[in-house]
Amino acid sequence: MKTIKSSLLLVLLLCMSVSFSNAQQKYLIHQDNVKPSKLMAYEKIAKEFNEACVTHNVQTSWATATTNDLKYIYITPIDNFADIDKRPFTDMAKKMGDKFSEMFKKFDSCYDTHNDYIITLVEDLTYMPNGITTTQEGQNYRKWFYIYFTPQNAEKVREGMKAVKDLYISKKSKEDYRIYRSGFGCPENFYLVTVSAKDEIDGATKSKANEAILGPDRWETFNKVLSYASRFEEYSGEMRPDLAYSPK
């Protein structure tokens, strides 16, 4: 796992931050695309890394998710773009010496690609009538829906997303969801819809019940999004509290 540390990049981000003065909670995402043959090796080194962070009380935090296509996603909330340039592992690296670099060599052997990017929670498109939270007790199972769109369709897709939320409100839907918007480091524009459940069966049960609540006319509303989307991707996975970290 590596963070973006370029001073030039930081300057560019700070310049961009003017247009985001009213932005909501941002998250720095680090994504490791793990090779199937290296899954167990990756799990082992990821747990060793977490233990080392606990030992050295590293001053940062992250949640971790794993997907059905073997992506490991590390999610760190940031207050502003300047947080990207922080180096929370500097002291830990000095104290561990060669052992620190050896850990990252083991990480690097487990994937051919990894990347960093930023997403932003979009509260006004999120449907959580009992209060917005990204952590729901006992609901670590996740479904992720990526709705990609081209720049010329950005406004139409947003209008469609708002129409979907209005439908959920009018029908008093029992299925919550959170919406995130792609940001810096993302090669394409997308909205990410995140749905939580206890497990796969619970998720499917909620989804089926929600179909009945929304009714057959739901597709007319959904089509306000789909008509302007360039493509749609769906993934499942889970949050991994055992690979999450926060300092003492």
pLDDT at 19: 37
The string of pLDDT tens digits covering residues 171-193 is: 999 999 999 999 999 999 999 99
Count CA within 13 A, CB hemisphere, residue 99: 9
Q: What is the mean pLDDT of residues 62-91?
A: 92
Q: Do 118 and 181 form a contact (C-beta atoms < 8 A)?
A: no
pLDDT at 98: 93
Per domain, the residue ranges of the chain are: 7-118, 120-237
Report the alpha-carbon distance of residue 71 to residue 94 in Å, rounded. 29
Give the number of other Cβ atoms within 10 Å of residue 138's Cβ.
10
Q: Can you give the pTM of this predicted structure?
A: 0.87
Q: What is the mean pLDDT of residues 121-145?
A: 94
Q: Does 155 or 20 have the greater pLDDT score?
A: 155
Q: What is the mean pLDDT of residues 144-168?
A: 98
Domain over 7-118 is classified CATH 3.30.70.100? yes
Least confident stretch, 18-22, 48-52, 174-178, 199-203: 18-22
- Residue 15: pLDDT above 80? no
CATH class of 120-237: alpha beta
Predicted confidence band at 137 (pLDDT cuts at 50, 70, 90)? confident
Q: Do 150 and 187 form a contact (C-beta atoms < 8 A)?
A: no
Tell me whether the CATH fold assigned to 7-118 matches the one assigned to 120-237.
yes
pLDDT at 84: 83
Alpha helices in 57-173 (DSSP H): 90-96, 98-108, 154-171
